[in-house]
Amino acid sequence: MSQATAPRPLDGITVISMEHAIAAPFCTRQLADLGARVIKVERPGVGDFARNYDERVNGLASHFVWTNRSKESLTLDLKQGDATVILDQLLADADVLVQNLAPGAAARMGLSFDALHERFPQLIVCDISGYGVGGSYQDKKAYDLLIQSEAGFLSVTGTQDDMAKAGNSIADIAAGMYAYTSILSALLLRGKTGKGSAIDVSMLESLVEWMNYPLYYAFENASPPPRTGAAHATIYPYGPFGTGDGQTVMLGLQNEREWALFCEKVLQQAALTTDDRFSSNSKRVANREALRALIDETFSGLTAAQVIARLDDAQIANAHVNDMHGVWAHPQLRERQRWTTIGSPAGDIPALLPPGTSNAWTPRMDPVPGLGEHNQHILRDLGYDDARIRALRDKGVI
């Protein structure tokens, strides 16, 4: 059996998702990558509001294209009784319900785990919210930048003068990843118990988990890591350095063996290895300005290519500082054949294959759905004929 026809890990698993923005869609897209059938329930005429963030991908929104391939879009006005009947029919055969609606909205609609478990004991229910269930922040609305702020991420990111947000939706991504892995764990548990379980994922807790290094660095009121731009706050030299041809090279040292090689082969000043100012990482951090001046003096007489050649010869980790155009053209992604093509309402578009290549199966890479594109197909599967589907459409149910 070839990889293309081999079964995928989540073949036969059905996920119903009432999702918007990034955290839940990113979670469910990864479930779809593994073969799950993901039915995305959207509001008629409006849909996931991330559909309208921008028009950068042939008229489609960049966030939406990223997080919604391989899904089926079903529009339902859940304020109407006919729509809730359809949702119940879907949940009866589903394995997972994922939702990141406004705080409390799913529970008010009777879609909490407690409300569903007696009727659908096999169902795994995953709730994703800003602050989780319980606590005084439970009902606060939360967006990615707000969670970056609450989790302390902004306090350690940026320059000495100005804090900076992450350039992508890091809090949403963290929550989406923990929801994804928690659902996989719940599916494994259900295989042992036969019962579904409830999952509560907090964006705040997800990002705070990723903040544990700076948290422990500031343990018992110690000074937190300072904001140092693109340089590492507590390891040096580790960050960007200019070269004589006006370019920038990123490099990083991790231990004393690398420091000796850096002095000998890159700076070509072996005596610095025993310079007391730089004899440990903490001393190099404390004297970073003096060390930077020495590095700049050497690098100013070299091109970026020459600096990288020296770093490679010394086996010192280094990198180019790419912009988005550089990433699109990255030779490693091209050489490893990591780009493929998927369909969309705006035609074929490129898509990056998911990380984690398997020799046993290939990821599902199906089109990005149009709003309500799969209404007729899904409803026919539930036993609705064309006349009933037309009536539902005329009533604004779908």
Q: Which domains does the chain have, with CATH numbers?
A: 14-211+336-394 (3.40.50.10540), 238-321 (3.30.1540.10)
Task: Round to whole Å and give the CA distance between 392 and 375.
Answer: 10
Q: What is the pLDDT of residues 345-376, one digit of tens each?
A: 999 999 999 999 999 999 999 999 999 999 99
pLDDT at 145 over 60: yes
Model confidence at 2, in pLDDT bands (50, 70, 90)? low
CA 373 to chain centre: 25
Task: Round to whole Å and give the CA distance between 91 and 68.
Answer: 20
- When pLDDT is averaged across residues 84-91 and rounded to a whole number, the result is 96
In this prediction, what percent of the chain has a pLDDT beyond 90? 95
Q: What is the pLDDT of residues 318-332, one digit of tens each?
A: 999 998 999 999 999
Q: What is the pLDDT of residues 172-205, one digit of tens each?
A: 999 999 999 999 999 999 999 999 999 999 999 9
Cα–Cα separations (whole angstroms), residue 58 to 26, 54, 344: 21, 10, 10
Q: What is the mean pLDDT of the chain?
A: 95
Model confidence at 228, in pLDDT bands (50, 70, 90)? confident
User: What is the reported pLDDT for 182?
Assistant: 98
**Alpha helices, DSSP H, located in the chain:** 23-33, 62-67, 81-92, 105-108, 113-117, 144-150, 170-193, 203-210, 212-217, 256-261, 281-286, 288-299, 304-313, 324-328, 331-335, 375-381, 386-394
How crowded is the C-beta side of 272, counted as CA atoms within 13 Å? 23
User: What is the reported pLDDT for 1?
Assistant: 57
**Tokens standing for 51?**
């559909």
User: What is the reported pLDDT for 5?
Assistant: 81
Residue with tokens 């960050």, as numbered in its chain: 239
- When pLDDT is averaged across residues 90-119 and rounded to a whole number, the result is 94
User: What is the reported pLDDT for 329?
Assistant: 95
User: What is the reported pLDDT for 385?
Assistant: 95
Residues in the chain: 398
Cα–Cα separations (whole angstroms), residue 360 to 1, 226, 340: 9, 45, 18
pLDDT at 112 over 70: yes
- When pLDDT is averaged across residues 78-86 and rounded to a whole number, the result is 95
Model confidence at 165, in pLDDT bands (50, 70, 90)? very high
pLDDT at 95 over 70: yes
Task: Round to whole Å and give the CA distance between 60 and 269.
Answer: 54
**Spatial contact of 301 and 244, defined as CB atoms under 8 Å apart:** yes
Catalytic residue list contains 232: yes
- When pLDDT is averaged across residues 210-237 and rounded to a whole number, the result is 92
Q: Which of 20, 117, 232, 320 is catalytic?
A: 232
**Spatial contact of 382 and 89, defined as CB atoms under 8 Å apart:** yes
Q: What is the pLDDT of residues 272-318, one digit of tens each?
A: 999 999 999 999 999 999 999 999 999 999 999 999 999 999 999 99
